[in-house]
Amino acid sequence: MARRQTPSPAGDASPDFVENIVDIDVTSEMEGSFLEYAYSVIYSRALPDARDGLKPVQRRILYMMSEMGLRPDRGHVKSARVVGEVMGKLHPHGDTAIYDAMVRMAQDFSLRLPLIDGHGNFGSLDDGPAAPRYTEARLAAAALTLTDHLDEDVVDFVPNYDNQLTQPDVLPAAFPNLLVNGATGIAVGMATNMAPHNLVEVIAAARHLIEHPDATLADIMKFVPGPDLPTGGRIVGLDGIRDAYATGRGSFKTRAKVEVEQLSARRTGLVVTELPYMVGPEKVIEKIKDAVNGKKLTGISDIVDLTDRKHGLRLVIELKNGFNPNAVLQQLYRYSPMEDSFGINNVTLVDGQPQTLGLLPLLSVYVEHRINVVRRRTAFRLGKKKDRLHLVEGLLVAIVDIDEVIQIIRSSDEAAAARTRLMSIYDLSEIQANYILELRLRQLTKYSRIELEKEQDELRREIAELEAILGSSERLRALVSAELAEIAEKYGTPRRTVLLESEAVSPTVAAALAAAPGPKGKAAPLALEIADDPCWAILTASGQVARTANQDGLAESGPRTRHDVFTSVVKTSARGEIAAVTSQGRMLRLQVMDMPVLPPTSGTPNMAGGVPAKDFITLLKGESLVAFAPLDEVLAIGTAQGVVKRLQPDYPLNREDWEVIALKDKDTVVGVAPAGSDDVDLVFVTRQSQLLRFPASAVRPQGRTAGGMAGIKLAAGDQVMFFGAASPGDSAAVVVTIAGTDGALPGTAPGAAKVTALSEYPAKGRATAGVRAHRFLKGEDTLLLAWAGHGPAKASSLAGVARSLPGEHGRRDGSGIPLSQAVDAIGPSMSWEPATEAEAQAPAGV
């Protein structure tokens, strides 16, 4: 650096003026100025303190709000007022920075435990907050635990920017705020990004560390297995978390919480209820639409945001028919923010120096800070108690001779003389004498000797307790641990984020991956579109419609639940078509792909995943769905008035529904059965217990518009209640009938059940009346239920059960036995389940 003198410029007021120009090296000046700026940003703006987990602006906001009395039990005040107080007294920076920090501490999607109770629009993941003049704020209850006991000398206070006020160098922090709420900040040459955690887990780890100072990271991770994000979601893969806990640096993947739901009878969708941390629904929608328009994503028909305050986040992604939901979900994870990465960088200030800390050092720094806070608080309280005890002891000395004390004061010329006389006569200290002199005369009457002695004993007990805490490290640490436990119990909430060691795979996905191994034994990616695999289309007695994932799982010996009976089971494929026949003689073409898929199982499928038929098929008024049927087989149709028809499969290719039988007035279809072979028998059962069995060859196949021919001859007032088909050589085919009283409510009148082998009934000619199937007892006048064929629950065993039941029920013209007796004989594992919607009204267990 060089100095030179130049003459003063012309016209200068002082002729002796000397101008000094300092030559400075630009490189050195830039380095020095940049270093000062970097230090300022690191220490005064961007990085949090490891003790209370707060940046300077956050600490100043909470302290000033505490000083303003903005407690949770008081009203909100304008945010602009808080910003002004902080900026004018403590934080010499712009109001925008202060308000942004204030807003973040009020957002429940940013902090796991919000510190400010905001009133108004404090923003969302997609939108910013309203201006500070429109919002209001006060401290949250949890924030009080960060600022409690500041008046008890628990932390050091430092001057503010203009040395006119003081502010705390750090807050007492009754819970590990840095780990619970995390932190993010960008300084010069360094940055911090810390994930939020669960309060209960972190405090449990801190208490364990207090009790076991030599605990290892593995011990601590038993209590803190991973982050707990405010927005929930799923964390996939824990290796990066373990690295971060050990070294302070690592990363992990977060995924949205998604469920595959049946949005309607024909539409499947992905419902998103939780998103990755700091990812908003609008951003997800925008990225998905861009990916769909860019042909990166396929199979998505629409995306709807149904989020509201009552139900929370609900993002519905509707899928096109024929696409595998799990494969589409994998694409969404790849091309949208539904999967995001979080990089942990635990840079924080320790004793004023930026350091990168793992989980154990972070907890250790906090625990030492909290122990120091409690120690200083205890020492402060001990001093206060001792001071009060000193005054009480002086009062006890004076109150014994209060009249003399008053006389001494009255006879003294001035306060100094009275103080001196009191000190000399009663051996009081100057503090005690001043306290007695400052008391009003009326206050002396309150201080009875008994009350003062009681207070003296209480003070001595409290002083002994405080001295014991200060004199024992174990008691001090136990007190800190107990206070942490109270915080966890009061403010703790259950974990929101699910931790997965690896990617969770549903049974459907696992089966698909196992069936399609990739190269070198690795699992191949899921097929995006649903393959045309064989499956079963199912219609149940309660009107549920569904299809299986494959053609396994229809074993007759599998467990069943009540009313979970298959009335129609059609062998087809996932991309095939089947027919549905209604009670009014209509046939509808159905796409199997549109049916909801039941989860794969080795036994009987659980129909809980089905949808009601009325929601899947458009039915006319008074119309019901009777059966599913294949489109390429000859079908036999039976009606309530005894008409039978064999239908040729010559269906129109350009229509979705058509008539398959011309019904007479008030006639309805009661049953449909495959009858492509002339070797099967067709079976009618009427309400007056007439059963007619005849070969299918007796009915010639007809076209769609034909009205059929006479099937069974009905008596006056009688009608068909069951129509089906059975193989005449099937020894397991049975007839099940239940008799009762016409018009009685189910279960209110006695009834009888009967199971008989179908072979007991002789074949008769078509258009005859058949034979009696069930002899009515007293009080019985009609059949409530009838079924014939292979089944319905355990067909291979029902015939044997029929032969083992007591009485004449095994004979075709015999009567039944009481329902309760039949249930006891068959047993709960053999209980018969209804085969039609009407039969679902039968008494329980039958």
pLDDT for 556: 42
- Three-state DSSP string of 590-651: EEHHHCCECCCCCCCCCHHHCEEHHHHCCCCCCCCEEEEECCCCCEEEEECCCEEEEECCCC
Residues 6+ apart with CB under 8 A from 101: 55, 57, 58, 61
pLDDT for 283: 93
pLDDT for 816: 65
Residue indicated by tokens 């008035």? 641
Token digits of residue 589:
């073409």
Question: Across residues 754-774, what is the average pLDDT?
Answer: 89
- Percent pLDDT > 90 in the chain is 50
Question: At residue 337, does pLDDT exceed 80?
Answer: yes
Identify the DSSP state of 7.
P
Backbone angles phi, psi at 559, to 5 degrees: -70, 145
Split at pLDDT 50, 70, 90, the class of 751 is confident
Question: Across residues 529-542, what is the average pLDDT?
Answer: 82
pTM score, whole prediction:
0.73
Split at pLDDT 50, 70, 90, the class of 207 is very high
Give strand ranges (E) for 150-219: 157-159, 166-168, 183-186, 191-194
Split at pLDDT 50, 70, 90, the class of 800 is very low
501, with CB counted inside 10 A (0-12, 13-18, 19+), is exposed
Question: At residue 520, does pLDDT exceed 70?
Answer: no
Split at pLDDT 50, 70, 90, the class of 567 is confident
Q: For the segment 393-418, what is each residue's pLDDT rounded down to a tens digit?
A: 988 888 888 888 888 888 888 889 88
Question: Across residues 548-572, what is the average pLDDT?
Answer: 64
Q: Which domains does the chain have, with CATH numbers?
A: 1-41 (no CATH), 47-173 (3.90.199.10), 254-343 (3.30.1360.40), 363-475 (1.10.268.10), 681-846 (2.120.10.90)
> Rounded to whole angstroms, how far apart are CA atoms 786 and 737?
4
692, with CB counted inside 10 A (0-12, 13-18, 19+), is buried
Residues 6+ apart with CB under 8 A from 309: none
Distance, CA of 722 to chain centre: 48
Q: For the segment 267-287, what is each residue's pLDDT rounded down to a tens digit?
A: 889 999 999 999 999 999 999
How distant, in Å, are the alpha carbons of 183, 227, 234, 256, 500 from that of 252? 16, 10, 10, 14, 11
Q: 333 catalytic, yes or no?
A: no
Split at pLDDT 50, 70, 90, the class of 55 is very high
Least confident piece of the model among 167-181, 550-564, 741-755, 795-809: 795-809
Hey, is 101 helix, strand or coil? helix
Residues 134, 245, 333, 366: which is the catalytic one? 134
Split at pLDDT 50, 70, 90, the class of 324 is confident
Split at pLDDT 50, 70, 90, the class of 792 is very low
Split at pLDDT 50, 70, 90, the class of 844 is very low
Residues 6+ apart with CB under 8 A from 522: none
Report the chain's mean pLDDT, rounded to a whole number.
84
Q: For the segment 626-678, what is each residue's pLDDT rounded down to a tens digit?
A: 999 998 889 999 999 999 999 988 888 888 889 999 999 989 999 999 888 87
Buried b or exposed e, range 228-240, using 16+ CB within 10 angstroms: bbbbbbbbbebeb
Question: At residue 794, does pLDDT exceed 80?
Answer: no
pLDDT for 729: 75
| Candidate ranges 527-541, 619-633, 783-797, 808-822; pick with highest mean pLDDT | 619-633
pLDDT for 524: 52
Question: Across residues 730-736, what is the average pLDDT?
Answer: 80
Q: For the segment 96-106, what is each residue's pLDDT rounded down to a tens digit?
A: 999 999 999 99
Residues 6+ apart with CB under 8 A from 123: 103, 107, 129, 130
**Rg for the chain (alpha carbons), in Å?**
43
Cβ proximity of 82 and 65 under 8 Å:
yes
**Dihedral sign, Cα of residue 401, residue 407, residue 412, residue 415:** positive
Which residues, in sequence order, are bridge partners of residue 628?
580
